[in-house]
Structure 1
Amino acid sequence: MQAGGAGQPADADATVLVMGDSLSAAYGMAAREGWVALTAARIAERKPDWDLVNASISGETTAGGAARIVDALVRHRPEVVVIALGANDGLRGLPTAQSAANLARMIGAAHGAEAEVLLVGMQMPPNLGAAYTEAFAQNYRTLAERFDVALLPFLLAPIALDRGAYQADNLHPVAAAQPKLRDHVWTELEPLLD
């Protein structure tokens, strides 16, 4: 099991690579408490022939992910890539078409490396306007359909309306909420680990 960014152990048969932002990088807590590390622990228990590498970076955008993915694919040679990016694009009000193009590049690179993809979506608060909010959410549905990849429409769905599940910034979930996120992601990730 590998929850950090180091290379794949020699005895691992297959690897899951997570490319995310602060929501996947355990911002504001110990790395072992984040949903990705909790998922790595579950994989170690239930799917011992699999490994997980967390290549998430706080503050990452889809453009950053698109710039980094080829190197990550070459380094880790994953069979499954979890792409959990876009929140920082939305918070900055970046054009949704730009985010979609970056995510499409990432999916294409993963497919080029013969990896399956789980696209993990995000939703934006309504302060940027209804049209932006809907276009942002639609990006994930459109890309999943176009590229025939697994989709988890909204990472934070299990805790979205629970103010107590967030840190003081009201953006990043607390450690106690991370098992719910792990379980939510697991519903779409587990079928890819066969």
Structure 2
Amino acid sequence: MKLSFNSFYIILGVIFFSCSSPKEEKTKEVQETETITPVPTKKLILFFGNSLSAGYGIEAEDAFPGLVAARIDSLNLNYRVINGGLSGETTASGLSRLDWFLEEEPSIFVLELGGNDGLRGIDLAETKKNLKAIIQLVKSKYPETKILLAGMQIPPNMGQEYTSDFQKLYPQIAQEEDVELIPFLLEGVAGDPDLNLPDRIHPTEEGHQIVFENIWPFIETMLER
């Protein structure tokens, strides 16, 4: 029986499809495999603070968190930095916005808050409660996160007793919560008009370089190499 031209081309098409289909499917599988290959995620260093972390009055990359990020990059380490600094932040407002920053697990959490509380004369019991709550929230959500508390001091505007008690606050919290403490983040910078902006509170670029040198040894010991 003779085949019509249409039947002939249908049979030829089936043979061609049967021969070529496995190769096409294999190519598709390879492409899909290449597409969904996950990219390794760098570990997170989170700075959670106020205008000092935010780099008030200067470029963000010149603030000490930016300088930490630059050092990390220069050493080609598997870390990245997020600057969660916000000007005007108190311990209470920091606690209220912390959940948003903890959607991702930080490998290192640097807590730099309390300075604005002290400058405003907020009850030290409230400041302590909020700082401890921040630390405890990080610990409860991510037990493996390493926490670094940045100690602060304030000028004696609120009286000598308040100033002294404020300075003692950070070592107390660090001991009670078993976290690493930088005794005074602004060591070598605070009170020096050449290293601070005209407000005498926020460091200049040169001041932030010194702050970076203060904090880097603590960060370095926490890094997993």
TM over 0.5: yes
Q: Taking structure 2 as the reference length, what is the TM-score of the superposition?
A: 0.78
- Structure 1, unaligned runs of 5 or more: 1-9
Larger Rg: 2
3-state SS in 2 of match to 1:160? coil
Any gaps of 5 or more consecutive residues in structure 2?
1-38
- The code of the aligned residue for 1:111 comes to K
Match for residue 92 of structure 2 among 56, 60, 63: 63
Q: Give the drift of 1:179.
A: 1.2
**Equivalences for 1:11-30 in 2 at 5 Å?**
11-30=40-59
Q: Deviations over 1:79-102 (max 9, x none)?
A: 111000011101110011100000
Higher helix share: 2
AA aligned opposite 2:87: S
Instruction: Provide the residue aligned with 1:178 in structure 2.
Output: 208
Cα drift, residue 19 of structure 1: 0.4
Match for residue 42 of structure 1?
A: 71
Q: Does 1:85 align with 2:85?
A: no
- How big is the shift at 1:63? 0.6
Counterpart code for 1:172: H
1:10-51 Cα offsets, whole Å, 9 max, x none, are 643311111010011010011111111011111122251111
Q: Which amino acid aligns with 1:60?
A: E
Aligned residues: 184
Measure, in 1, the Cα distance between the counterparts of 2:216 and 2:101.
Answer: 22
Inter-CA distance 128–47: structure 2 relative to 1 (3 Å threshold): farther
- Structure-to-structure mapping, 1:123-138, within 5 angstroms: 123-138=153-168
Three-state SS of the structure 2 residue aligned to 1:23 is helix
2:150 maps to which residue? 120
TM-score by length of 1: 0.90
Are the equivalent residues in 1 in contact too, given 2:115–2:154 (CA < 8 A)? yes
Matching residue of 2:19: none
Determine what percentage of the aligned residue pairs are the same residue: 36
Q: Which residue of 1 aligns with 2:32?
A: none
Query: Deviation at 1:161?
Result: 3.9
